[in-house]
């Protein structure tokens, strides 16, 4: 397989056609080798339009969702980013190429370890990785507040933990709801107590551990 051609095709046929037109985002996705971040058993599927399993019941997002996430956040070169859900480290790499610094946290230690190795191999060092539970916000990082927060897993219902960790002007990407249809949202902090919530698109992501839907009882 010609991986460079596959990467180009992914950007042009999957990402761009999903209304991702930001040239910086397209460039980052075209230059970042996604095959370096997938499990070796799935290397041939690195650029396919599907979620790639990572273990622990988790999976990588589809490329078009990754592209929409990166575009919606309008990441600037001076931004400090919090990513909740490191996963494979692929989105972490893209965020790091767009921002000044990325803090990323995952609840699975083996994900953190594998991502650290992959990111070092890509010579990306403006990243701090943590292992921990960020289901109700993340207080153990280097920063109290962030310019950008990206949740790579969903919340069954919206909670305000993460928007409170935004700087004024900061942006939060989050997917809210339950299968089969969820809603991607962009939350922007306009002031100390003022936020806007923009609906972006419908999708479906696995839930953030600790933010799953509550069981429904049928009597």
Domain annotation covers residue 173: yes
What is the pTM assigned to this prediction?
A: 0.93
CB-based contacts of 215, cutoff 8 Å, min separation 6: none
The SS3 assignment for 109 reads helix
Q: Is residue 87 part of a domain?
A: yes
- Map residue 72 onto helix, strand or coil: helix
Q: Which two tokens mark 19?
A: 């209304």
The domain of 65 spans 3-203
| pLDDT number for residue 217 | 47
Q: Which CATH number is 147's domain given? A: 3.40.50.150
Q: How confident is the model at residue 212, as a pLDDT?
A: 66
Total domains, the chain: 1
Which of 44-78 are b and which e, b meaning 16 or more Cβ less than 10 Å from the residue's Cβ? Answer: ebbbbeebbebeeebbbbbbbbbbbbbbbbebeee
In a domain, 216, yes or no: no
State the pLDDT at residue 1. 67
Residue 192 inside a domain? The answer is: yes
Whether residue 153 lies inside any domain: the answer is yes
pLDDT at 141: 76
Residue 63 maps to a domain: yes
Structural domain contains residue 210:
no
Task: Classify residue 215: in a domain, yes or no.
Answer: no
pLDDT at residue 140 in the model: 81
With residue 17 as reference, give the H or E element that holds it. none
pLDDT of residue 181: 86
Consecutive 10-residue runs of the chain (219 residues): their mean pLDDT? 90 96 98 95 92 94 97 98 97 98 97 98 97 90 91 93 96 94 96 96 88 57
């Amino acid at each position: 397989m010609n991986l460079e051609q596959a990467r180009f095709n992914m950007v042009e046929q999957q990402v761009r056609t999903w209304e991702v037109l930001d040239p910086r985002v397209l460039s980052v996705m075209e230059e970042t080798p996604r095959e370096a971040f997938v499990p070796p058993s799935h290397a041939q599927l690195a650029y396919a339009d599907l979620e790639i399993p990572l273990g622990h019941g988790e999976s990588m997002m589809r490329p078009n969702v990754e592209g929409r996430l990166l575009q919606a956040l309008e990441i600037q070169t001076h931004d400090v980013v919090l990513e909740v859900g490191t996963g494979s480290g692929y989105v972490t790499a893209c965020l790091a190429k767009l921002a000044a610094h990325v803090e990323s946290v995952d609840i699975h230690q083996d994900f953190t370890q594998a991502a650290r190795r992959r990111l070092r191999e890509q010579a990306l060092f403006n990243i701090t990785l943590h292992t921990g539970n960020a289901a109700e916000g993340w207080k153990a990082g280097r920063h109290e507040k962030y310019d950008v927060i990206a949740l790579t897993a969903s919340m069954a219902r919206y909670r305000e933990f993460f928007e409170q960790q935004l700087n004024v002007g900061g942006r939060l990407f989050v997917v809210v709801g339950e299968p089969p249809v969820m809603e991607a949202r962009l939350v922007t902090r306009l002031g100390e107590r003022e936020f806007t919530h923009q609906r972006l698109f419908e999708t479906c992501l696995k839930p953030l551990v600790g933010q799953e839907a509550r069981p429904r009882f049928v009597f």
